[in-house]
Structure 1
Amino acid sequence: MLNTMALIDRVQLELGAQEPWPKDAKLYQPYEVEQILLSDNANCLAVQAFLKMCNLDFVVEPRANAEAMSPSGKVPFLKAGAFVVSELEGIVSFVNNKGISLTEKFDQEAKSDMRAYMSLVHNVIEVAELYISWVDKETYNEVTSVRNGSIYPWPLNHIQNRAKRNQVIKKLKVLQWYKKSTKEVLEEVENCCQALSDRLEGKEYFFGTSCELDALLYGHVHTVLTNTKTVAMKKLADVIKKFNIITEHCRRIDEQFMRRSSCVYFG
């Protein structure tokens, strides 16, 4: 069954490659202010940055049920003509199949390094965002439960929050993060940021020109630095602020691709 689904996905990507990029491409995601959570916000921003790096037209379409609409159950997802593709990796593949690639001139070693650092971001910073959002009591009570349950009436909001929290905690247990203390989580993030900073030092972008790794890190760094409503969220932001190379990288993408002005939170 899985092989069949993979074959269908591959065929769809190949068919999509035959069509020009549509002028009305739409990127679906949750509402930013009222609903979106840390990790989802980061991944949505990463896809937006990637598409802008590729000079592709799209509009953001907020939907309260974006997660349920997504073919993978995760946000964001892109509707380009007759095709619907979700998450950064899937959208990158879809775009690449149209002959548009940010890594076309990369050799195999560079591509392998890029994938390794992307895995590092996913496996540390994104998991830390999930931990802070769903395990830290203050963040869960004041931010996560309010946002995640905002689209449901009572008592469905309570039921949905419990179901989602159980799902995330199960994932954190598998990854052996659930029993970590907040201090240990922050140390993991600091080590991750040190590795990323070392790789980025002396360069504007990780591999000389912007690529999906730059977009992914941007999404997570920007999200963490602009969401500091609780003590744990502030501590997470403070860890990243220790690394000027990373915050400057975020500022650079913000200004060059996202067309935003510099803000004080990058200080």
Structure 2
Amino acid sequence: MNPKEAVTKGECERNGIEIETKATFAYKGKQEMFLDFSLIEDDEIEEVESPILQGITQEPWPKDVELYQPYEVEQILLPDNANCLAVQAFLKMCHLDYKVVHKENAEAMSPTLKVPFIKAGRFVIAELEGIVQFVNGKGITLTEKLDNEQKADMRAFMSLIHNVIENAELYICWVDKETYNEVTSVRHGSVYPWPLNHIQNWEKRSQVIKKLKALDWYNKTLEDVFSEVETCCEALNTRLDGKPYFFEEGPTELDALVFGHLFTILTTPLPRSDLANTVRNYPKLIELVQRIEKEYFKKQAKH
């Protein structure tokens, strides 16, 4: 699939599901929107969902920004871990400080029901794209030197990752029976008592399957899934073309997103190693992952 072609069809489908989720959630009322968010006063919260981001332009980055995600050791799953790591990488590339806060119900606390999300002053912003817009609204951007065509390419490849690699991760975790029984059900249900753990697993699995059916992913075989990932990696590898980052001007949110997903795929133990082996067939992508880890995680950890 051509990555630019994936934008129109993929984003429409993906956004359609998100709109349905938000509408249903909004109907339940604002109190449920901030489940277990008692640490924050309701009148101090303002969700940021509009790309306009009114009222925050050029305000300084708060010193007490918190990034919320599930527990890493016992709970978080491959897709969520990848997205959380992508946001962390982006913030590090922007040299912005934040503190990671682990919550067992971080997903339910998020305004979009997806992790990660950040609390920055009175704003609560979820997912990489929303957080990028929020940061851009403060005059901080990684794409200042890119022209319009380059920015369009970047968005196309980010859409490709969401619509291929992320869906592949969801499929493997929630549809593949071996992975679900040995990893997903155990980790996802670990923070809940019996029988709530089984109820939570069933509800989440039903949601994921509904999404994958809408995107024509549910009826794929494992071989189909790995083939889709291989095609996506081939496109990413061609775009990288041996450069340190996808654009010569320096790292962007695309690099952060690729790092989050590929690093997590390579380092997450699963019953089947096919997904990681597919990524390992592209040494230049591996080098990109290692470069970002060394530059923005290992090096900064020493300071």
Q: Same fold (TM over 0.5)?
A: yes
Q: Does 1:140 align with 2:218?
A: no
Is the counterpart of residue 217 in structure 1 residue 258 in structure 2? Answer: yes
- Structure-to-structure mapping, 1:106-117, within 5 angstroms: 106-117=146-157
Give 1:32's aligned residue.
Answer: 72
Judging changes above 3 Å, is the alpha-carbon distance between structure 1 residues 174 and 50 closer, same or farther for their aligned structure 2 residues? same
Displacement of 1:8 after TM fit?
Answer: 7.3
1:38 is matched by which residue type in structure 2? Answer: L
Shift of 1:142: 0.9
- The residue that corresponds to 2:276 in the other structure is 237
2:245 maps to 205
Q: State the alpha-carbon separation in 1 of the partners of residues 197 and 293 from structure 2.
A: 34
Alignment size in residue pairs: 257
> Runs of at least 4 residues of structure 1 off by over 2 A?
7-14, 16-19
Determine the structure 1 residue equivalent to 2:204.
Answer: 164
**Whole-Å separation in 1 of the counterparts to 2:183 and 2:52:** 38
Structure 1: distance between partners of 2:48 and 2:254:
27
User: Following superposition of structure 1 onto structure 2, how do residues 13-162 of structure 1 map, counting pairs within 5 Å?
Assistant: 13-162=53-202
Preserved CA contact (<8 Å) 1:71 1:86: yes
Contact preservation (8 Å) 2:48, 2:125: no
Say whether 1:226 aligns with 2:251. no
Equivalent position SS for 2:90: helix
- 1:256 matched to 2:295? The reply is yes
Q: Once superposed, what is the RMSD of the aligned Cα atoms?
A: 2.0
Q: Quote how far apart the aligned CAs of 1:157 are.
A: 0.9
* Structure 2 residue 222 is matched with structure 1 residue 176: no
**Partner SS state of residue 17, structure 1:** coil
Deviation at residue 179 of structure 1 after TM alignment: 1.0
Whole-angstrom distance in 2 between the partners of 1:173 and 1:143 = 22
> What letter corresponds to residue 30 of structure 1 in structure 2?
P
- Alpha carbons 1:228, 1:237 under 8 Å: kept: no
Deviation at 1:11, TM superposition (A): 8.8
Q: Distance in 2 between matches of 1:210 and 1:177?
A: 31
CA distance, structure 2, for counterparts of residue 254 and residue 225 of structure 1:
13
Which residue matches 1:264? none
Residue 50 of structure 2 aligns to a residue whose secondary structure is: helix
Task: State how far apart, in whole Å, the 1-side matches of 2:151 and 2:214 are.
Answer: 28
Match of 1:265 in 2: none
Question: 2: distance between equivalents of 1:249 and 1:94?
Answer: 26
| Cα offsets for 1:207-259 (capped at 9, x unmatched) | 1110000000000001000112312xx11000000000111100000000112
Per the TM alignment, residue 160 of structure 1 is displaced from its structure 2 partner at its CA by 1.0
Distance 1:91 1:158 in 2: 32
| Cα deviation digits, residues 122-157 of structure 1 (max 9, x gap) | 111100000000011111011111111112111111
Q: Percent identity?
A: 62
CA shift digits 1:146-205 (9 cap, x unpaired): 111112111111111111101101111111111111011001100100010011012110
